[in-house]
Amino acid sequence: MLTFSLTVVRHGETQFNKEKLLQGQGVDTSLSEPGLQQAEAAGLYLRELSFSNVFVSNLQRARQKSLRNDVHSSGVEMVFDPLLRERSFGIAEGRPKEDLKNMANRAGQSCRDYTPPGGETLEQVRLRCKKFLKSLYQRMVDDHGCSGQSSTAVGRGAGAAESGTDGPLPGLPDNGMEGVPLHALVVSHGAYICVAVRHFVEDLQCSLPQGLKMSKVLSACPNTGISRFVLIVSGATNRPCCLCLACSPLSTGILCL
């Protein structure tokens, strides 16, 4: 078995984010000045973790300053992967999010489930996410082999339930990482991350810290929000098991200091 943590970070703010305009894949804007500061702060926050592998969406807003300074200082290669791109919103891209809500209302669907003409369905995004994760698991096994570490050793201290608190523990980025030998980083986008987190929680039955509501887990990830999981992959089949949500805050926005 191979045990590793997976840290998933949303890119920093863009002007389109600030103005509540949809970007998707067709509108590839750069980070705003606050977004650059957020990316810098996220890199500083995570610099104590030694990432063995880094995967980044190939869209500009994820590539640009995506924790680059701190990650590259350890000599780790960044893999820019189109499978990590944001969900495509078709004809709604470049338009206010309110327009998407109005389209969904006219179609009698929820905004989350509605697919604008030319856009990706949620199922297509799920399949793309699972394809990326399959390649991630294979890359981790190919690069690092199988550690043989038991899930019991990793489980101690990884969830807030065992610490006697009522929710995820605040503080350092390595909280709950005792006994985890490897760390992988993914930088992606808001709608895509929602799909990925739902997959870990619902499909892989990831255990959550006590007191953390499911509505919070599945809520939209803010710019430079961080979600962290501990995964175990079988070396024989590369079948994953999501052991737990790490006890650092889920989807917590990094504030500019």
Percentage with pLDDT > 90 across the chain: 48
State the pLDDT at residue 208: 78
Which range has the worst mean pLDDT, 2-11, 130-139, 157-166, 233-242? 157-166
Reported as a pLDDT band with limits 50, 70 and 90, residue 168 is: very low
Has 238 been labeled as part of a binding site? no
Which range has the worst mean pLDDT, 23-37, 112-126, 173-187? 173-187
State the pLDDT at residue 249: 43
Has 17 been labeled as part of a binding site? yes
Has 14 been labeled as part of a binding site? yes
State the pLDDT at residue 71: 56
State the pLDDT at residue 175: 65
Three-class secondary structure assignment of the chain: CEEEEEEEEECCCEHHHHCCECCCCCCCCCECHHHHHHHHHHHHHHCCCCCCEEEEECCHHHHCCCCHHHHHCCCCCEEEEHHHCCCCCHHHCCCEHHHHHHHHHHHCCCCCCCCCCCCCCHHHHHHHHHHHHHHHHHHHHHHHCCCCCCHHHHHCCCCHHHHCCCCCCCCCCCCCCCCCCEEEEEEECHHHHHHHHHHHHHHCCCECCCCCCHHHHCCCCCCCCEEEEEEEECCCCCCEEEEEECCCCCCCCCCCC
State the pLDDT at residue 155: 44
Question: What are residue 9's phi and psi, to 5 degrees?
Answer: -125, 135
- pLDDT, averaged across the chain: 81
- If one compares 147 and 132, the residue with the highest pLDDT of the two is 132
State the pLDDT at residue 113: 92
Has 15 been labeled as part of a binding site? yes
- What pLDDT, in 10s, does the model give residues 24-58? 999 999 999 999 989 888 888 888 788 899 999 99
- Dig out the tokens for 69 from the structure: 């300074």
Which of 40, 86, 93, 120 is catalytic? The answer is 86
Mark whether 11 is an active-site residue: yes
Task: Please report, for the chain, the start and end positions of each structural domain, with discontinuous segments joined by +.
Answer: 2-245
- What pLDDT, in 10s, does the model give residues 214-236? 888 888 889 999 888 888 887 66
Which top CATH class is 2-245? alpha beta
Has 3 been labeled as part of a binding site? no
State the pLDDT at residue 244: 66
State the pLDDT at residue 119: 97
- If one compares 242 and 147, the residue with the highest pLDDT of the two is 242
- Nearest-angstrom CA–CA distance, 99 and 43: 34
Has 229 been labeled as part of a binding site? no
- What pLDDT, in 10s, does the model give residues 191-210? 999 999 999 988 988 887 77
State the pLDDT at residue 129: 97
